[in-house]
Amino acid sequence: MGKDVIIACDFASAAQTMEFLDKFQGKKPFVKIGMELFYAEGPKIVRQIKARGHKIFLDLKLHDIPTTVKKAMAVLSRLDVDICNLHAAGTAEMMRAALEGLTRPDGTRPLLIAVTQLTSTNQEAMEQELLIDKPIDQVVMSYAQNAKRAGLDGVVCSPLEAAKVHANCGSEFLTVTPGVRFADGDKGDQKRVMTPAQAKEIGSDYIVVGRPITAAPDPVAAYERCLAEFVG
C-alpha cells in the first residue's frame, strides 16, 4: 500500500458514519474505525464499511496477555480489515502472538502497527506513574525497535517523530501519523501538529485526519485537499 490519507471516523453511531460516507459518492477513502464506533456498533460496522469498498484501519489498541491478544487478533483478521494495532508496551511476546493470530490460513494478514507512547502521556506522567525515567523520545524509539524486531509493520506516531522512526527502523517500517492540521485550520486539542504537506515532506506513510475533514463545511473538498497536499 502506498501513501494515503486515512479519515478518522470518530462518530458515535453507524447512522452518522454512513451519512458522512454517503457524501463521498463514488470515492472510497481509507477510514479509521476507533473504539467509540466499534463499541457502539460492534463488528457489523466493520463489515458494512468494508462492503462499501473502503479500506479499514481498525484502531482498537489491544494490550493483554499474549494468548488473549492472539485470539482477539484472529477474530479481527476474519473481519478482513487492512490495518490493526496494539500497544508496544504489551511486550515483544505479545506482539509476536498478535502476528500469529492475525495470519490467515493462506498466509495473508492485515498490517499490524504499534502504539508506542500515547501522545497524551508526557514525561512527567511516565516518570511519576509508570516509573519510566528515560527521555520520552528514547522510549518511543526503543518501543518502535521492539515492534520492528517482533515483526510488526510500523508504528502510530506523531508526524514529528516519523523521520526519526524511519532513521532507526528503516524506510520500509510504516509511520502512521495523526495530529494533522491545515495551515489555515483550527488546531483543536492537538498540540503538536503538521500540515499534510509537511507530513509528506518528513516521510509519513499514512496520515490520520479526523476533524479537519469530518467537521469541515465541505468534507469531500477537505479530503481532496489533504490528498493533494499529502499524496500530490
Residues within the interface to ligand C5P (CB under 6 A): 8, 10, 34, 118-119, 156, 178-179, 188, 190, 208-212
Dihedral sign for Cα 118, 122, 126, 132, please: positive
Q: Which residue is nearest to ligand C5P (CB)?
A: 210
Give the helix/strand (H/E) hosting 212: helix 211-214
Q: Which amino acid is at 70?
A: K
Q: Which is nearer to ligand C5P, 101 or 159 (CB)?
A: 159
Q: Which is nearer to ligand C5P, 70 or 177 (CB)?
A: 177
Listed in sequence order, the residues at least 6 apart from 108 whose beta carbon sits closer than 8 Å to its beta carbon are: none
Closest CB 20 distance from ligand C5P, rounded Å: 13
The answer to whether 61 is a known catalytic residue is yes
State the catalytic residue, choosing from 55, 61, 164, 200: 61
Closest CB 26 distance from ligand C5P, rounded Å: 24
Q: Which is nearer to ligand C5P, 14 or 60 (CB)?
A: 60
| CA–CA dist 176, 55 (Å, integer) | 15
| CA–CA dist 188, 165 (Å, integer) | 26
Closest CB 198 distance from ligand C5P, rounded Å: 15
Closest CB 53 distance from ligand C5P, rounded Å: 22
| CA–CA dist 7, 14 (Å, integer) | 15
Catalytic residue set? 61
